[in-house]
């Protein structure tokens, strides 16, 4: 691969007015893009900007409607992922295309050309993963691996084909700062070998750190090409969103009031072999506070949310208190009636039923906690459609939910808009306590900023807000206090201004003595 960098000037991959229509909707509209040999090229854009559609066409998953793809100057038709791989294009998907029931080696073998024995695949994968600092056990079942380890499989799988261009789709969204650093080291190695990288992200800071050039997409069109290191996050965001992204303002002193949410030596056993048990969790959130809980995925965030929301109550009633009243053994409806609101992590299937319209989703969530508002006819529980419609419209307007039609199915909204609706659905009740798990996971910059501002505003209005998040940028934007969860244990909460990324990183891994060593800490 060492000769790849030498072909000066002519791009490795060029895209000329590439268009993809779904019906009459242009997901990609006349895209031009050049990727030079050996460069790390960022593809920036909000959700729905056409980034995924574009890379799917480059990787042969989708067929373009019109336009041209040139590989080393030659026009090519990439009919399938196999064809893309034969050209020398590798891809690491955002939603991993891994098979949980198969082993690591089997997963890798599936994407290799036929005729290689499974044991050789296992050996090569182990060697390669060590060489790039991504240790893997080839015999492990994917179902047993963490998200970070799964990503390693994807990367090793792509690398085994010796690609000249590697496409990475939002690779750091699931990683700790330390894991992300390790990934950046791997990317630097690839670049040093003369390979090109197409790096898709909406994390501007990362793009500025590792990318040589950036192409920005909005509404399926290229809206800018730049050297990200010469831009500011604000100018990049402006290119992505088309207008200035409102910075979340936590300004204005808030008066801290009574403790509205408290966990007092909360313990919960793991419910499944993959779950984490909660160990002696203590936390207090006062009125006016936003307590953010940082942590790497799979360290008990989901379990903590379940215990605090009452999806899975605990036996000790005093382990959780809402507005001073013991609530540990109560279910979610009882806790909502005490003035709490909850937004779970999973939008589809947990916070919303994708196939049902927004108004039905509103009734489903609040028919018990706001029974008198939405239901008539006593025990008959007849839905007051007019009231529901008005409430649904109010939520959409307040949160700026962009949707097709008056009351579309929840699943037809983009992730960001649906999340705005779900958060708005809870805020509409003016909850005294709001508990949110990963509020802006996979949400575009504009929607994320809107949601974060809403959380900050709610706290300023005198509610207690608990945010569980893996996104450190988000945590620093919204939090007044920060704690870190690791292996089901919660650290002390520290005032946000006293916390640094390094400190959070150490708390994430260091508390139970594995994962991280101090020297691996983020140099930021």
**Interacting residue ranges for other proteins, rule: CB under 8 A:** 60-63, 80-83, 85, 93, 96-102, 106, 109-111, 114, 141, 143-144, 272-274
* Residue 5 beta carbon to other proteins: minimum distance, rounded to whole angstroms: 29
Q: What's the min distance (Å) between Cβ of 100 and other proteins?
A: 6
CB of 116 to other proteins, least distance (A): 9
CB of 160 to other proteins, least distance (A): 13
The phi and psi torsions of 244 (rounded to 5 degrees) equal: -70, 135
- The minimum distance between CB 143 and other proteins, in angstroms, equals 5
Shortest spacing between CB 341 and other proteins, in angstroms: 31
CB of 155 or CB of 436, closer to other proteins: 155
Q: What values do phi and psi take at 164, rounded to 5?
A: -90, -25
In the 3-class helix/strand/coil scheme, how is 40-61 assigned residue by residue?
A: EEEEEECCCCCHHHHHHHHCCC
CA dihedral 137, 143, 145, 146 (to 10 degrees): 160
Sign of CA dihedral 144, 150, 152, 154: positive
Q: Crossing angle of helices 118-131/147-159, nearest 10°?
A: 110
Q: State how beta strands 66-71 and 213-218 pair.
A: unpaired
> How far is CA 154 from each of CA 105, 411, 437, rounded to the nearest angstrom?
11, 28, 26
Buried b / exposed e along 97-107 (16+ C-beta atoms within 10 A): ebeeeebbbbb
Spell out the residues 6+ positions from residue 397 whose beta carbon is closer than 8 angstroms to its own: none
Give strand pairing partners of 348: 352
Closest C-alpha among 45, 99, 90 to residue 186:
90
Q: Give the DSSP H or E segment for 16.
A: strand 13-22
Identity of the residue, 34 or 106, whose beta carbon is nearer to other proteins in the bound complex = 106
Q: Which is nearer to other proteins, 141 or 189 (CB)?
A: 141
Q: Which is nearer to other proteins, 143 or 520 (CB)?
A: 143
Nearer to other proteins, 65 or 223 (CB): 65
Q: Which is nearer to other proteins, 111 or 449 (CB)?
A: 111
- Judged by beta carbon, residue 48 or residue 357, the one nearer other proteins is 48
Mapped onto helix, strand or coil, the DSSP state of residue 141 is strand
Least distance from other proteins to the Cβ atom of residue 62, Å: 7
Instruction: Report the candidate in 200, 259, 147, 235 with the shortest Cα–Cα distance to residue 35.
Output: 200
Instruction: Using the minimum distance from each CB to other proteins, give the nearer residue, 93 or 374.
Output: 93
Minimal distance, residue 14 CB to other proteins, in Å = 23
Nearer to other proteins, 101 or 364 (CB): 101
Q: Which of 476, 341, 338, 479 is nearest to 422 (CA)?
A: 341
Q: Which is nearer to other proteins, 141 or 256 (CB)?
A: 141
Exposure string over 225-253, b if 16+ CB within 10 A, otherwise e: ebebeebebeebbbbbbeeebeebebeee
CB of 137 vs other proteins, minimal distance in Å: 16
CB of 273 to other proteins, least distance (A): 6
């Amino acid at each position: 691969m060492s000769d790849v960098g030498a072909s000066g000037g002519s791009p490795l991959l060029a895209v000329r007015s590439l268009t993809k229509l779904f019906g009459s909707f242009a997901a990609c509209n006349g895209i031009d893009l050049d990727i030079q040999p050996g460069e790390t090229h960022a593809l920036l854009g909000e959700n729905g900007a056409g980034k995924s559609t574009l890379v799917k066409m480059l990787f042969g998953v989708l067929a373009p409607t019109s336009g041209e793809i040139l590989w080393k100057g030659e026009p090519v038709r990439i009919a399938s992922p196999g064809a893309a791989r034969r050209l020398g294009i590798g891809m690491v998907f955002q939603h991993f295309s891994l098979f949980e029931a198969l082993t690591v080696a089997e997963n890798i073998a599936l994407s290799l050309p036929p005729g290689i024995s499974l044991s050789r695949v296992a050996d090569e994968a182990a060697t390669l993963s060590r060489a790039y600092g991504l240790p893997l056990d080839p015999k492990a079942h994917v179902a047993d691996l963490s998200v970070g380890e799964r990503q390693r499989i994807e990367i090793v799988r792509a690398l085994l084909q010796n690609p000249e261009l590697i496409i990475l789709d939002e690779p750091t969204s699931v990683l700790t700062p330390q894991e992300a650093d390790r990934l950046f080291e791997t990317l630097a190695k690839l670049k040093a070998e003369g390979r090109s990288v197409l790096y898709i992200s909406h994390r501007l800071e990362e793009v500025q750190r590792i990318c040589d050039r950036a192409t920005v997409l909005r509404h399926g069109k290229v809206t800018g090409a730049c050297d990200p290191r010469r831009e500011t996050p604000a100018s990049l965001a402006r290119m992505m969103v088309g207008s200035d992204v409102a910075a979340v303002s936590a300004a204005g002193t808030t008066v801290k009031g009574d403790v509205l949410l408290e966990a007092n030596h909360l313990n919960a056993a793991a419910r499944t072999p993959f779950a984490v048990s909660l160990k002696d969790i203590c936390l207090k959130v006062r009125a006016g506070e936003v307590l953010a809980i940082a942590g790497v995925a799979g360290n008990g965030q989901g379990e903590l949310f379940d215990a605090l929301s009452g999806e899975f109550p605990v036996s000790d009633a005093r382990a959780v208190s809402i507005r001073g009243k013991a609530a540990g053994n109560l279910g979610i409806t009882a806790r909502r009636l005490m003035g709490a609101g909850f937004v779970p992590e999973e939008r589809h299937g947990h916070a919303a039923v994708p196939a049902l319209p927004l108004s039905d989703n509103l009734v489903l969530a609040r028919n018990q906690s706001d029974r008198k508002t939405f239901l008539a006819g006593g025990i008959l529980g007849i839905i007051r459609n007019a009231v529901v419609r008005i409430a649904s419209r109010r939520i959409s307007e307040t949160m700026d939910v962009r949707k097709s039609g008056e009351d579309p199915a929840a699943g037809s909204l983009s992730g960001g808009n649906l999340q705005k609706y779900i958060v708005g659905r809870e805020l509409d009740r003016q909850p005294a306590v709001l508990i949110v798990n990963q509020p802006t996971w996979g949400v575009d910059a504009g929607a994320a900023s809107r949601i974060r501002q809403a959380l900050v505003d709610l706290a300023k209005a005198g509610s207690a807000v608990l945010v569980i998040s893996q996104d450190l940028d988000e945590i620093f934007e919204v939090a007044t206090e920060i704690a870190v969860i690791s292996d089901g244990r919660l650290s002390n909460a520290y005032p946000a201004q006293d916390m640094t990324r390094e400190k959070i990183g150490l708390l994430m891994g260091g508390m139970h003595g594995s994962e991280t060593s101090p020297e691996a800490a983020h140099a930021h």
